[in-house]
Structure 1
Amino acid sequence: MTKFSAEWSRRNFLRGALATGALVLPASGALVGCATSGGGQEATEGEKTDQNPLGVPTDAPLEVYIFNGGFGDKYATDVHEPMYKKKYPKAKITHKAEVDIAGALQSRFVGGNPPDFVNDSGDGQIPLGQLVSDKQLYDLGDLYDAPSWDDPNTKVRDTLVPGAAEQGTFGDTTYVMNMALTVYGIWYDKALFDKNGWETPGTWDDMLSLCAEIKKAGIAPWTYPGVHARYMVWPLLTMAAKLGGADVLKAIDNLEEGAWGHEAVKESANALAGLRSKGYILAGTEGMDHIQAQGQWCAGKAAFVPCGSWLENEQKDAAKAAGFEFAVMPEPLLSDDSAMPLETLYATPGEPYVVPAAAKNPRGGLEYMRIMLSKEGAKGFTEQVSSLTVVKGAADGVQLPPGLTSAQAGLEAAGDNVISYMWREWYGDMWNPGVNTHMGDLLAGRKNVDEFVEGCEAEAKKVRDDDSVTKYTR
Structure 2
Amino acid sequence: MKRNRNKSRRLYKNGILLLTAVLWVCVMLGGCTVKKSGTDENMLGADLESEPDRVVITVTTSVSLEHFAAAVEERFPDIRLVQDSYMGDFRINEHIARVSNRDWGDLVIIAAGLIPKADMSGLLMDLSTQPFPAGYNSNSLQMDHEGHIYLLPGPLNFNCNIYNKTLFDENGWTVPESYEELITLCQTIDESGIRGFQYVLRDTSTQSYQIYNYCVLSALDTLTHPDGQTWHNQLMEGKAVSLEPMKVSFQNLQRLIDAGMVRAEDMEVTDTIRMELMKNRQTAITPGAVSILNQLNDESGDEFRFMPHFSMTDNQGWLLNLGYYFGANQNLRQSGSEKELEAAMKILKFVASEEGQQALIEDRLGIVPATRGASLPKLPAYDGIRAQAEGGYYIMRPTYDMFTSVLETEIASFIRGETTSDDILEKCSALLKKGAPTAEAIGQASSDFTVLQTGLLKADALRSAAGTDIALISMAEPDCFVPIGGTRSKLYKGRITEDDIIRISQNTLGEDVMCSRASMTGAKLLELLDYGAASAKEQENGMTNGFHPFAVSGITLSYDLNGVKGQRVRGVKLTDKKELNPEAVYTVVFLDGMLTERFSSEQEKTGLSMTEVLKEYIRSKKTVSPDSHRITFH
Output the TM-score relative to the length of structure 2: 0.48
**1:177-230 CA-partner distances (Å, limit 9, x unpaired):** 232445554332223222222223456665454334433444333333323224
Report 1:208-287 matches (<5 A): 208-226=183-201, 227-233=208-214, 236-237=217-218, 240=221, 247=227, 250-255=230-235, 257-260=241-244, 264-275=248-259, 278=260, 281=263, 283-286=265-268
Shift in CA distance, 139/297, structure 1 to aligned 2, threshold 3 Å:
farther
Give the deviation of 1:160 after TM superposition. Answer: 0.9
Aligned to 1:164: 140
Q: Secondary structure at the match of 2:290?
A: helix
Is the CA contact 1:387–1:404 (under 8 Å) kept in the aligned structure 2?
no
Shift in CA distance, 81/283, structure 1 to aligned 2, threshold 3 Å:
same
Aligned to 2:401: 429
Aligned to 1:120: 110
Give the deviation of 1:358 after TM superposition. Answer: 5.5
Aligned to 1:402: 380
**1:51-75 CA-partner distances (Å, limit 9, x unpaired):** xxxxxx971223334434xxxx4xx
How large is the Cα RMSD of the aligned pairs? Answer: 4.4
Aligned to 2:356: 377
User: Amino acid of the residue matched to residue 374 of structure 1?
Assistant: S
Give the deviation of 1:85 after TM superposition. Answer: 0.5
Aligned to 2:450: none
CA distance in 2, matches of 1:400, 1:419: 19
CA distance in 2, matches of 1:101, 1:262: 27
**Match status 1:328 vs 2:303:** no
Is the CA contact 2:55–2:79 (under 8 Å) kept in the aligned structure 1?
yes
**1:101-155 CA-partner distances (Å, limit 9, x unpaired):** 24556665566653333332287x4x5563424x3x22142xx533xxxxxxxx2
CA distance in 2, matches of 1:294, 1:370: 40
Q: Secondary structure at the match of 2:252?
A: helix
Aligned to 2:270: 288
Shift in CA distance, 129/301, structure 1 to aligned 2, threshold 3 Å:
same
Aligned to 1:449: 421
**Match status 1:59 vs 2:41:** no
Aligned pair count reads 367
Higher relative contact order (CA 8 A, sep 6+): 1
Aligned to 2:69: 81
Identity %: 15
Q: Secondary structure at the match of 2:349?
A: helix
- Between 1:400-409 and 1:371-380, the stretch displaced more is 400-409
User: Amino acid of the residue matched to residue 422 of structure 2?
Assistant: D
Shift in CA distance, 251/109, structure 1 to aligned 2, threshold 3 Å:
closer
Give the deviation of 1:374 after TM superposition. Answer: 0.7
CA distance in 2, matches of 1:301, 1:180: 33
CA distance in 2, matches of 1:266, 1:107: 32
CA distance in 2, matches of 1:367, 1:433: 44
**1:156-181 CA-partner distances (Å, limit 9, x unpaired):** 121111143335x4866433223244
Between Structure 1 and Structure 2, which shows a larger proportion of helix residues?
1
CA distance in 1, matches of 2:74, 2:150: 27
Q: Secondary structure at the match of 1:388?
A: coil
Aligned to 1:179: 154
Shift in CA distance, 129/439, structure 1 to aligned 2, threshold 3 Å:
same
Shift in CA distance, 272/325, structure 1 to aligned 2, threshold 3 Å:
same
Report 1:350-361 matches (<5 A): 350-357=323-330, 361=340
Shift in CA distance, 129/238, structure 1 to aligned 2, threshold 3 Å:
closer
Is the CA contact 1:266–1:453 (under 8 Å) kept in the aligned structure 2?
no
Is the CA contact 2:221–2:248 (under 8 Å) kept in the aligned structure 1?
yes
CA distance in 1, matches of 2:405, 2:437: 18
Shift in CA distance, 400/215, structure 1 to aligned 2, threshold 3 Å:
same
Give the deviation of 1:295 after TM superposition. Answer: 6.4
